[in-house]
Structure 1
Amino acid sequence: MTPNPPDSPDSPDAPGSRWSDLERPPLNPTALRRALLKPDSLWTELEVVERTGSTNSDLADRARAGSAAEGAVLVAEEQTAGRGRLDRGWSAPPRSGIFVSMLLKPQVPEERWGWLPLLAGVATAGALARAAGVDTALKWPNDVLADVDGEERKIGGILAERTVTAPGGGGGNGGVGVVLGIGLNVSLRSAELPVPTAGSLVLAGAQGTDRDPLLRAVLRGVEDWYGRWSAADGDPVGSSLLEAYAAGCATLGRTVRAELPGGEELVGEAMALDSDGRLVIGTGDGVQRPVAAGDIVHLRGEGAAGA
């Protein structure tokens, strides 16, 4: 067998080679498809790309063009312009994390679609407990937290974006769907963290950081919870989603500051989630206010063990 020349993309000596960091092997698309693309599965196609700006943007473009049906999964080995809430950037070294987006066309009332990022959080937390042996917590509405050296650190984020889809893509609700993206820091070392409040599975003491079983566990978890939620017509109580999210949510019972759209701030106790997935915050004047969107900061003090 003739070895790859030094300037070949697959040569171990080539800059950016997929084999240049042997602690971070590439994903195995063939094995992933074999494990996940079953006749009765939610997932209909799975593609792994070496590098892209944003898997969410790419999959939304494909949905609009009619080249992606419900259940399409797009994974990137490296994501250079990933987006979190409030258009915050999300990037990491090649093959150091899981960057995955999936196209869903829920056949439930659209007013219940706000539960999808919370559903993804529950699914991801369960998957990481099973596949990595790491206990995680959920910060409302879309962060995954883990303990790193006694501190609460963000190791993952979730972004759900409503998108127009071309006719005939399968599913209900006509030409409307949701691109659900999940980003997880898997093997990032301390010096590679984008901000001091970030963490990774390896820094949280994960028993395993092989991304193939981690990705399979996450997608199977999403499929399971999406099936329960859909069977209950999106009812968070009937599907047990509300109970599961509340049990794993680090925000509830904490003193928080909600930075709301428009610049308003609200400080109080995170008391509950309502039936629409909104966070109910109790203020000092006895008012209970539901918050549908905002940036939540866990404050130190009574009932708050981290930031």
Structure 2
Amino acid sequence: MTPENAPESRWSDLDRPPLSESALRHALLQEGGLWTSLDIVPETGSTNSDLAARAASLPQGAVLVAEEQTAGRGRLDRTWSAPARSGLFFSVLLKPGPDIPVERWGWLPLLAGVAAASGLARAAGVDMSLKWPNDLLVKVGGEERKTGGILAERAGEDAVVVGIGLNVTLRESELPVPAAGSLALANAISTDRDPLLRAVLRSIEQWYRDWRSAGGDPGLSGLQTAYAAGCATLGRTVRAELPGERSVVGEAVALDGDGRLVLSTEGGGRQAISAGDIVHLRPAD
């Protein structure tokens, strides 16, 4: 068989080695820790869909990672795809329990954003920020670009699956849209996916424990303050596009106790926009 028609090997792109399932399990699956299982699959449609389908039979803390996602989803069923082993594509299963009011579960995607941004800032050495409600941003040549997204979905009555997709080594020629970015394009000091994944999962574990210990209260847990501090949306004038071709324009001034973005509108009014209601959030210009 000639090199031209040989099947692709998991080592065919030496800049993108496979994740080590055994090393990740050894590092993350600790007695008394949040993470209870970790599985890596070569390819799947959506880690969120796969994990949600098994949520009833799995304990809290299950982690599913895919080397490649062919039908990754964002909010409003927007698609997310990238070359094999070019990023981190994974979902985690969380079961907050009856002690956490269901209305506070809406903070979980924002918690994942804070945890991912802080964990990656340390492990990759990049300055990351958050675009409300679910995007991770890096700067490439001084321009903010989306390098990751978060999607949280209910899985039955007692569980939430939180999925994260992150571009790690995506090259300029591989970007799906010009506004996309990657850690490599942001000059990360490391694009080794094993320590990056460990950093994000450990950060999620710490923030989740603090949030649960505070009864899911975003103020007492420090989550509300941390999100606001890292949110690039605050202080900017934006246009919130809503269903039915409606829109609201105003300065993003705060994040309220329900995780909604508060806009200061013309005339001095204020309007809170929820993540579930918004179609797009764009700069007002």
TM-score range, shorter chain: over 0.9
TM-score (norm 1): 0.88
Paired position in structure 2 for 1:23: 15
Inter-partner Cα distance in structure 2 for 1:16 and 1:69: 35
**Counterpart among 278, 281, 289 of residue 260 in structure 2:** 278
1:264 aligns with 2:264: no
| Preserved CA contact (<8 Å) 2:255 2:262 | yes
3-state SS of the aligned residue for 1:229? helix
Where in structure 2 are there 5+ consecutive unaligned residues?
A: none
Deviation at 1:12, TM superposition (A): 11
How many pairs were matched up?
280
- The alignment yields a C-alpha RMSD, in angstroms, of 1.5
Where in structure 1 are there 5+ consecutive unaligned residues?
A: 1-5, 165-174, 301-307
Paired position in structure 2 for 1:60: 52
Paired position in structure 1 for 2:75: 85
1:204 aligns with 2:204: no
Inter-partner Cα distance in structure 2 for 1:240 and 1:266: 29
**Please, which moves more after superposition, 284-293 or 109-118?**
284-293
Q: Note closer, same or farther for the CA distance 1:177–1:262 as it changes in structure 2 (3 Å cut).
A: farther
Inter-partner Cα distance in structure 2 for 1:298 and 1:32: 40
1:179 aligns with 2:139: no
Runs of 4+ in 1 over 6 A off after TM superposition: none
Paired position in structure 1 for 2:202: 220
Deviation at 1:69, TM superposition (A): 1.8
Within a 5 Å distance, the mapping from 1:100-179 to structure 2 comes to: 100-107=90-97, 108-164=100-156, 175-179=157-161
3-state SS of the aligned residue for 1:253? coil
Within a 5 Å distance, the mapping from 1:25-64 to structure 2 comes to: 25-64=17-56
Inter-partner Cα distance in structure 1 for 2:82 and 2:7: 17
Inter-partner Cα distance in structure 2 for 1:296 and 1:203: 24
Inter-partner Cα distance in structure 1 for 2:249 and 2:10: 47
Identity of paired residues, percent?
66
The superposition leaves residues 193-239 of structure 1 with CA deviations (integer Å, 9 ceiling, x where unpaired) of 11111000000010010000000000000000000000000000100
| Preserved CA contact (<8 Å) 2:47 2:69 | yes
Deviation at 1:149, TM superposition (A): 1.0
Paired position in structure 2 for 1:240: 222
